Amino acid sequence: MALKVGDRAPDFELPAVQGEERLNFRLSDYRGKKDVVVTFHPLDWTPTCESQLPILDSMEAKFAAAGGQLLDISVDSIESHLAWQKKEIGMMRFPLCSDFYPHGEVTRKFDILRDEPPVPGISERAAFIVDKEGVIRFARVYPIDRLPDLDGLLEELRKVRNSES
């Protein structure tokens, strides 16, 4: 069962790309500074995911205006993220993190690594909002073959921000 509202988010550091820039994303770097919107997509190069990421990218400024740092995680490699951006989805303006090795370690900590078909070893499609204190304030697992409600996710971030002020 996925982590839930009120749980402390596991700290993590993952390699990432933001557009073509390689970086490391560490959740604890945002402690006390920003809420972090952590989304998980199951797999690069799949139809639903190739719709989800460009929509998130188009909303990046809205998430930032609501006080959030947006990022996405999958079990794909950095090289896959780079190629996928260049050939399919365009360059993202937020970090795409690679939970490739050790395989699915962060995904497992959020308790959303799939063990069953259709593809064991990938993440569920999920979203979490981690507040400035490192506590999960929103958690949802979506059907793997459906786009998450990204407008609803933005609204949840605004609620978190309003409750903090």
Instruction: Give the Cβ contact number of residue 148 at 10 Å.
Output: 21
Q: How many residues does the chain have?
A: 165
**Choosing from 17, 43, 49, 59, which is the catalytic residue?**
49
97 is catalytic: no
Cβ neighbours of residue 6 closer than 8 Å, sequence gap 6 or more:
135, 136
Instruction: Give just the sign of the alpha carbon dihedral 7, 131, 152, 87.
Output: negative
Q: What whole-number distance in Å separates Cα of residue 45 and Cα of residue 47?
A: 7
Tokens of residue 139, six digits: 């958690």
Q: What whole-number distance in Å separates Cα of residue 107 and Cα of residue 129?
A: 15
Active site residues: 49
